[in-house]
Amino acid sequence: MIKNTDRWDLDTVAQDIIRGHKLTDDDLRELLSLTEEEDIEKLHYVARKVRDHFFSNRVFLYSFVYFSTHCRNNCAFCYYNRCNDIERYRLDMDEIRSIARAVKNENIHMVDLTMGEDPYFHNDPERFVDVVRAVKEETGLPIMISPGVMDDETLTRLHENGANFLALYQETHDKDLYQKLRVGQSFNERNHAREFAKNIGYCVEDGILTGVGNDIASTIKSLRGMEKGQPDMVRVMTFVPQEGTPLEKVDQESSLSELKIISVLRLMFPDRLIPASLDLEGIDGMVHRLNAGANVVTSIISSDSSLEGVVNYDRELEERDRDSRSVIKRLRTMGMEPASQAEFNRIIEKQPVKPVRIPVAAL
Ligand code: SAM
Ligand code: MD0
Ligand code: SF4
C-alpha cells in the first residue's frame, strides 16, 4: 500500500484511512517490514496527512512529575525496579504543591503524576488521593495518573477527586513476552485496571515497548491488543537499556522501528492522542516523532527541576533541555502550535474530535 505508490496515491491512502478504512494484518506486516528510507518517508507522509486532518498543526503538551521513584515491582527493563540499588526519592506534600504551582505557569495542557508502585501509596491509597486533590487545587488542570495497577475502588476514588486520565502501559500484548518484561505481574489485572478506568469515565493510555524482543508478529499482536481496549492515547517507546537491570547488556535499537510504529499507530488510531516522548531523545527526537504522526509532547520537565524521567536520555547531560518554552519554540519552527486548553478539554470530556477540513488545493 506504500511501496511503488506515488504521491497522488499516497493522498488516496490517507483519505481512505480518514474515511474509516481499517488496516489488515497483511498491511501491518508490510508497513512494519519497510526498510528503504524512501518508503518509510512515504509512510510518515501519510501519517502526517491523517493527523493534520484531525488535529491540524495543533500539539498537546504534558508536564511530567515523577513524585516517587520507590517501587515494589521487578520489571526487567526498568531502572527503578526494586532490585536496582539506586538512590530514590519520594516528594512530600509541600514539595508536590510547590511543583504544581510552578507547572501552572508552564503553558501545558495536563500534569502527569507518575510513581513507581510505591508501597507508601499503594498500601494506603488515600495518600495518593490527597496528592491528586492537592495538584488539582493548585493547577486546575486535567490530571493524568501513572501509578501502576490500582484496584477498582481506588481508581474510582481518584476519578472522583480529579484524576482524568490513566496511563497504564501493557508494554506488550504478547503474553509470553509480557512475563519476561513485567516479571511476576498479572497480565489480566493490568489490562483490567485500564478497562475498568475507561468504563467509569477516565481517558486511558496504553503503550508498548519496541526493541525488547518483539518481532513483527509480536508487534502486530500488541497493536491488535491495544486496538481492543480502544484507548484514548496510544504510545510506543524504544527500550533503552538501563544500568543495574537484567536487560542492561541488550543492544539498544535505533529509533527507526519506533518511528515506523508511531506512523502505523496513526493509521490505526487516526483521531487519538499519540505522544512524542522527550524522555528518549529530547527535543531533536521530538521532531522526528512529530514528523512520524505524533500529536502530543510528553515528559516536559522544567529546566531547574531535579526530578527524574523514566528513561532519562539526559541523565548524563549537564543541561536539561525539555522545558515547555524550548518545546514550543521548536514546535513553531516546524509550523506547529500548542493547542488551546479548550481544545484539550474537549478530548478529556470525550467529545468527538472535529476534523479540520483540508482545502482541496492542499491535497
Ligand atoms: N510504575 C508505573 C507503571 O509501571 O505503570 C508508572 C511508571 S510507567 C510511566 C513507566 C513506563 O516507562 C513503563 O510502563 C515503560 O513503558 C516505560 N519504561 C520504563 N523503563 C523503560 C526503558 N528502560 N526503556 C523504555 N521505556 C521504559
Ligand atoms: C514520558 N517519562 O512520557 C514519561 C512517562 C508516564 N505516563 C509517561 C513514560 O516519556
Ligand atoms: Fe516499577 Fe513501573 Fe518501573 Fe515496573 S515500570 S519497575 S512498576 S516503576
**Ligand 3 contact via 116 beta carbon (within 6 Å):** yes
pTM of the model: 0.96
Task: Reply yes or no on whether the pLDDT at 243 is more than 70.
Answer: yes
Query: pLDDT grade, residue 299 (50/70/90)?
Result: very high
CA dist., res. 139 & res. 103, Å (int): 7
Q: Which residues contact 276 (CB under 8 A, 6 or more apart)?
A: 262, 285, 286, 288, 289, 290, 294, 296, 297, 298
Q: For the chain, where are the alpha helices, taking DSSP H only?
A: 7-18, 25-32, 37-55, 93-104, 119-122, 126-139, 152-160, 175-181, 187-199, 216-229, 256-268, 278-291, 324-333, 341-348
pLDDT digits (tens, 9 = 90+) for 201-237: 999 999 999 999 999 999 999 999 999 999 999 999 9
The average pLDDT across 56-81 equals: 98
Distance in Å, CA 247 to ligand 1 centroid: 14
Query: pLDDT grade, residue 313 (50/70/90)?
Result: confident
Q: Whose CA is nearest to atom 21 of ligand 1?
A: 78
Counting ligands in written order, which one lies closest to the CA of residue 236? 1
| Adjacent-strand bridge partners of 90 | 68
Distance in Å, CA 77 to ligand 1 centroid: 8
Task: Reply yes or no on whether the pLDDT at 363 is more than 60.
Answer: no
Per-residue exposure over 78-113, b if at least 16 CB sit within 10 Å of its own CB, e if not: bbbbeebeeeeeebeeeebbebbebbbebbbbbbbb
Return the ligand 1 atom nearest residue 117 CA.
Answer: 1
Distance in Å, CA 360 to ligand 2 centroid: 37
Q: How far is CA 212 from the centre of its chain?
A: 17
Who wins on pLDDT, 358 or 76?
Answer: 76
Query: pLDDT grade, residue 362 (50/70/90)?
Result: low
Distance in Å, CA 119 to ligand 1 centroid: 17
CA dist., res. 166 & res. 157, Å (int): 13
For residue 101, the model assigns a pLDDT of: 95
**Ligand 1 contact via 299 beta carbon (within 6 Å):** no
For residue 256, the model assigns a pLDDT of: 95
Q: What is the mean pLDDT of the chain?
A: 95
**Ligand 1 contact via 331 beta carbon (within 6 Å):** no
Task: Reply yes or no on whether the pLDDT at 105 is more than 60.
Answer: yes
Return the ligand 3 atom nearest residue 78 CA.
Answer: 3
For residue 359, the model assigns a pLDDT of: 54
Distance in Å, CA 310 to ligand 2 centroid: 6
CA dist., res. 121 & res. 128, Å (int): 6
CB neighbours (10 Å) of residue 337? 13
Task: Reply yes or no on whether the pLDDT at 168 is more than 60.
Answer: yes
DSSP string, 138-207: HH-S-EEEE-S---HHHHHHHHHTTEEEEE---B-S-HHHHHHHSTT--HHHHHHHHHHHHHTT-EEEEE
CA dist., res. 148 & res. 122, Å (int): 9
Query: pLDDT grade, residue 3 (50/70/90)?
Result: confident
Query: pLDDT grade, residue 358 (50/70/90)?
Result: low
CA dist., res. 106 & res. 62, Å (int): 10
Return the ligand 2 atom nearest residue 237 CA.
Answer: 10
Q: Which residues contact 346 (CB under 8 A, 6 or more apart)?
A: 353
For residue 321, the model assigns a pLDDT of: 87
The average pLDDT across 61-83 equals: 98
For residue 145, the model assigns a pLDDT of: 99
The average pLDDT across 134-155 equals: 98
Counting ligands in written order, which one lies closest to the CA of residue 184? 3
Place of cell 492537592: 134
Q: Whose CA is nearest to atom 8 of ligand 2?
A: 299
Distance in Å, CA 259 to ligand 1 centroid: 18
Distance in Å, CA 110 to ligand 2 centroid: 12
Return the ligand 1 atom nearest residue 71 CA.
Answer: 1
CA dist., res. 258 & res. 210, Å (int): 7
Per-residue exposure over 291-304, b if at least 16 CB sit within 10 Å of its own CB, e if not: bbbbbbbbbbbbee
The average pLDDT across 339-356 equals: 91
How many percent of the chain have pLDDT more than 70? Answer: 97
- Residue to mutate, 237, 248, 251, 261, ligand 1, most ligand atoms under 8 Å from C-beta: 237
CB neighbours (10 Å) of residue 53? 19
Distance in Å, CA 124 to ligand 3 centroid: 18
Q: Do the Cβ atoms of 212 and 247 come closer than 8 Å?
A: yes
CA dist., res. 62 & res. 323, Å (int): 11
For residue 278, the model assigns a pLDDT of: 97
Task: Reply yes or no on whether the pLDDT at 258 is more than 70.
Answer: yes
